[in-house]
Amino acid sequence: MNAATPSAPGVAIRPADGYAGDVPAVLACRWWQTGDAVLVDVRTDAEREWVGFVPGAVPLAWKQWPGMQVNAAFDDGLRAAVPPGRKVVLLCRSGVRSIAAARRATELGFEAYNILEGFEGDADENGQRGRKGGWRLRGLPWRQN
């Protein structure tokens, strides 16, 4: 599938600067479930543990708590997780850290996509996430410990 021929409304790839594009969670999930892409969750270990995780996604933090410094093992972890020639779709909380991770993955030679809205979606008028978009709200696979 490409941006010119989406199979359903709302699943088009959006062009992006520095990486392959931004994709809706539904499209990313489809690519992952059909084996066309590797799903990499770039949230911190704490976020995945407390907020929820996607079973089968590769857990590879872009930044680690505390301090939120870039994970020095990110490059090696990505190379180990994504076979040559396979797309990678990157998931974070809201679709911001995953942009930086997608840019880095592109620098490393991967066809990398950011997942729009992230796991929790945008903050609502009360500053709370989980009610405006996101992987979880869209009913895609996830679990919570």
- How confident is the prediction along the chain (145 residues), in pLDDT tens digits per residue? 333 333 444 578 999 999 999 999 999 999 999 999 999 999 999 999 999 999 999 999 999 878 889 999 999 999 999 999 999 999 998 888 999 999 999 999 999 999 999 998 887 787 767 677 789 989 999 999 8
| CATH architecture for the domain at 21-115 | 3-Layer(aba) Sandwich (3.40)
Rounded CA-CA distance 144/51 in Å is: 7
Q: Residue 125 has what pLDDT?
A: 82
pTM of the model: 0.88
pLDDT at 4: 35
Helix axes 97-107, 74-81, angle to 10 degrees: 70
Task: Specify the pLDDT at position 2.
Answer: 37
Give the model's pLDDT for residue 10.
58
H/E run at residue 91: strand 87-91
Q: For strands 112-115 and 21-23, give the pairing.
A: parallel
Position 7 scores a pLDDT of 41
Tell me what pLDDT residue 36 has.
Answer: 96
Q: Are 91 and 63 in contact (CB under 8 A)?
A: no
